[in-house]
């Protein structure tokens, strides 16, 4: 297993897709913040935005963690996962690798390396986001509120990072299965984009659709992962569950139920990926 992970890491740590879809997060963060600081300085300094507040400053400082849960962030995650899982088909290298290793280990190594690279990039980008935000305040003269403790900041980062885990895992599960079934990075990416978009759209428009098919919409809303991703994020970062107003009444779910449903989706999709690859004819 360690040999497979090492080989996969060696393959992707310098791959163009890794630079363009993974390390772009911390690199882009630095570029954007430097531009923002330059614009503020050129404009004569920062602008005080109300009374300084430690809680609000910390909430702003961890703002990067909302990106992996947003559709645009998930699209880029899906693009990288598509390359990782479907690249071997395009490079025609599976037939050289499969006879010498367990297929289960090969797919597991791809999951480990893809998620590890994404975790490193997101963590680094989030810390840079906080550090560069502080630097901007210092350079431009915006007041930094008193009472900001390192422990509180890192706790906020930890909770926000945990909230980002579910959408990253679910997106990875969608696209990895699509990559194995279609054997195409482009097709896997398109499927991932469509599924992620439909998931978001259904979560947003289900209350409007409920009057036309109450039982169907209600059952789908409870079973599909869209609401539950948002509920997990709300529970971790805001300390409360997410309540959605339907024409028939308010809908909410306990965090444990949301965690169980998202975990079931991830495990089921990943399990199908392992099963499909083990049965696949590699020419």
CA angle 96, 169, 227 (to 5 degrees): 145
Q: Which residues contact 260 (CB under 8 A, 6 or more apart)?
A: none
Q: Which two tokens stand for residue 227?
A: 């609401």
Q: What's the average model confidence in pLDDT over 151-167? A: 90
Average pLDDT of the chain to the nearest whole number: 87
pLDDT tens for each residue of 92-138: 888 878 777 888 999 999 999 999 999 999 999 999 988 888 887 77
State the DSSP H helix or E strand holding residue 244, giving kind and residue range, or none if neither.
strand 244-246
Say how far apart CA 59 and CA 80 lie, in whole Å: 28
Indicate whether 262 pLDDT > 70: yes
User: What pLDDT, on the 0 to 100 scale, is given for residue 232?
Assistant: 94
Q: Which residues contact 185 (CB under 8 A, 6 or more apart)?
A: 82, 83, 86, 87, 89, 90, 179
SS3 content of the chain, % helix, strand, coil (to 5): 80, 0, 20
- Could you give the CA distance from residue 112 to residue 45 in angstroms, rounded to a whole number? 45
Q: Look at residue 2 in the predicted model and tell me its pLDDT.
A: 76
> What residue spans define the domains of the chain?
2-279
Cα gap 26→12, rounded to integer Å: 17
Q: So what's the pLDDT on residue 281?
A: 80
Supply the pTM of this predicted model: 0.89
What is the CA angle 61-157-189, rounded to 5?
95
Residue 86 has pLDDT above 60, yes or no: yes
Q: Mean pLDDT throughout 24-53?
A: 74
CA 232, CA 220: separation in Å to the nearest integer? 18
Please check whether residue 24 is in contact with residue 128, taking contact to mean a CB–CB distance below 8 angstroms: no
Per-residue pLDDT at 77 exceeds 80: yes
Model confidence over 13-22: pLDDT tens digits? 888 888 889 9
| 179-188, 189-198, 209-218: segment of lowest average pLDDT | 209-218
Residues 233-253: pLDDT tens digits?
999 988 889 998 888 888 889
**For 88-97, 195-204, 222-231, which range has the lowest pLDDT when averaged over its residues?**
88-97
**Predicted confidence band at 62 (pLDDT cuts at 50, 70, 90)?**
confident
Amino acid 38: pLDDT: 79
Rounded to an integer, the average pLDDT of 209-232 is 91
Selected residue with higher pLDDT from 60 and 110? 110
Which of 245, 248, 200 has the alpha carbon at shortest distance from 226? 200
pLDDT at residue 3 above 90?
Answer: no
């Amino acid at each position: 297993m360690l040999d497979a992970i090492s080989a996969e890491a060696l393959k992707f740590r310098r791959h163009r897709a890794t630079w363009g879809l993974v390390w772009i997060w911390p690199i882009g963060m630095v570029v954007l913040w430097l531009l923002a600081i330059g614009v503020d300085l050129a404009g004569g300094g920062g602008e005080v935005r109300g009374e300084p507040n430690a809680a609000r400053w910390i909430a702003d400082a961890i703002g990067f963690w909302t990106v992996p849960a947003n559709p645009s962030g998930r699209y880029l995650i899906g693009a990288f996962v598509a390359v990782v899982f479907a690249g071997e088909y395009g490079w025609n290298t599976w037939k050289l690798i499969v006879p010498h290793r367990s297929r289960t280990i090969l797919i597991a190594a791809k999951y480990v390396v893809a998620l590890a690279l994404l975790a490193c990039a997101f963590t680094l980008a989030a810390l840079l986001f906080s550090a560069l935000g502080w630097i901007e305040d210092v350079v431009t003269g915006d007041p930094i509120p008193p009472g900001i403790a390192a422990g509180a900041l890192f706790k906020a980062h930890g909770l926000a990072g945990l909230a980002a885990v579910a959408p990253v895992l679910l997106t990875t599960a969608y696209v990895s299965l699509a990559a194995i079934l279609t054997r195409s990075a482009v097709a896997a990416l398109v499927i991932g984009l469509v599924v992620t978009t439909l998931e978001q759209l259904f979560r947003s428009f289900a209350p409007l659709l409920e009057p036309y098919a109450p039982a169907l919409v209600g059952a789908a809303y409870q079973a599909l992962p869209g609401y539950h991703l948002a509920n997990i994020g709300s529970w971790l970062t805001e300390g409360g569950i997410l309540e959605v107003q339907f024409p028939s009444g308010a809908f909410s779910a306990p965090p444990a139920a949301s965690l169980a449903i998202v975990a079931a989706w991830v495990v089921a999709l990943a399990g199908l990926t392992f099963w499909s690859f083990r049965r696949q004819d590699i020419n």
